[in-house]
Amino acid sequence: MIEIKKIEKYFGNNHVLKNVSFLFERGKTNLIIGESGSGKTTLIKILIGLHKIDSGNILFDGVDFNAIKIKNQRKLRQEIGMLFQGGALYDYMSVEENIMFPLNMFTKKTEIEKIERVNFCLKKVKLEGKNELMPSELSGGMTKRVAIARAIVMQPRYLLCDEPNSGLDPKTAIIIDKLIQEITKEYNITTIVNTHDMNSVMEIGENITFINKGEIWWKGNKDELLNSNNTELNDFVFASELFKRLKKS
């Protein structure tokens, strides 16, 4: 469970997050939706300490991230898996080396144990046998899947995903979404997914939060979303013809 309380964030004069509070539940795929520039990426980067907050608290299962020593922050970060918007694979390392990297860095596992774990994670994301490929040889969907494998290799308690399916075709996007949801359930982790893809909202939307211009505008599940009367939310969700028709029916 991740809880954030009354977060304020400025970039210079740009007030990016305004009094934002959330409760992200364990074992659920928590969705953050909102249009481009609404502050979704900023929020995720704040959670992992890549951006400093101006005020507020961030609690990981009750532990206040900003109140603990840097050394302990580092420890805590090792329990967080993060899927970046572009995958962020290390481009001079092969698929196997990318996934193995956290193990090399932080564990004392033997070479055989590490390979076993890597192959297990590759199987999880359905990329068995692709160990030797380089990131430049992967398609967009494969890149995301390798990034997911790397994010879960250390068995994290938290998984943060920044637009996991941007730039993917609808079918691949759904495969990725399902994969994230499956991993969340199987390992009972706290997952947060940023997205502006309505397909994934309908597919995996459990605990949905809509942010608009840095403020929390609406919270609920996907059934509530379909029946909501919130104007801004409807403008965002039902921007496309398809979803307008869906709402009418």
Ligand X SMILES: Nc1ncnc2c1ncn2[C@@H]1O[C@H](COP(=O)(O)OP(=O)(O)OP(=O)(O)O)[C@@H](O)[C@H]1O
Contact between 11 and ligand X by CB under 6 A: the answer reads: yes
91 contacts other proteins (rule: CB under 8 A): yes
Query: Is 191 one of the binding residues for Mg ion (CB under 5 A)?
Result: no
C-alpha to C-alpha distances, 119 to 41, 110, 182, 221, nearest whole angstrom:
30, 14, 18, 35
What distance lies between CA 15 and its chain's CA centroid?
Answer: 23
CA distance 247 to 243: 6
**Contact yes or no for 185/155 (Cβ under 8 A):** no
How many residues contact other proteins, by CB under 8 A? Answer: 24
In the complex, minimum distance from the CB of residue 196 to ligand X, in angstroms, rounded to a whole number: 6
* Interface with ligand X, residue 129, by CB under 6 A: no
Least Å distance between CB 230 and ligand X? 18
Beta strands 29-33; 207-212: pairing state:
parallel
- Using the Cα atoms of residue 137, residue 179, residue 174 and residue 233 in order, give the sign of their dihedral: negative
Per CB under 8 A, contacts with other proteins among 15-74 are 45, 48-50, 73-74
Q: Going by DSSP bridges, is the β-strand pair 55-60/2-11 parallel, antiparallel, or unpaired?
A: antiparallel
Tell me the residue type at 30: N
* Choice from 36, 52, 105, 136 touching other proteins (CB under 8 A): 105
The tokens for 168 are: 């993917």
Binding of other proteins at residue 82 (CB under 8 A)? yes
Which among other proteins, Mg ion, ligand X, none contacts residue 105 (Cβ within 5 to 8 A by kind)? other proteins
Residue 36 found at the interface with ligand X (CB under 6 A)? yes
Q: Which is nearer to other proteins, 32 or 80 (CB)?
A: 80
Cβ-based neighbour number of residue 108 at 10 Å: 6
Q: Which does 84 bind (CB under 5 to 8 A by kind): other proteins, Mg ion, ligand X, none?
A: other proteins
Q: Which of 32, 46, 89, 237 binds other proteins (CB under 8 A)?
A: 89
**112 near other proteins, rule: CB under 8 A:** no
Binding to Mg ion (CB under 5 A): which residues in 22-61?
41
Under DSSP, the state recorded for 80 is E
Which helix H or strand E contains 70, and what residues bound it?
helix 70-77
Closest CA to 183 of 127, 128, 121: 121
Binding residues for other proteins, per CB under 8 A?
45, 48-50, 73-78, 80, 82, 84-86, 88-92, 102, 104-106
Binding residues for ligand X, per CB under 6 A?
11, 14, 16, 34, 36-42, 196
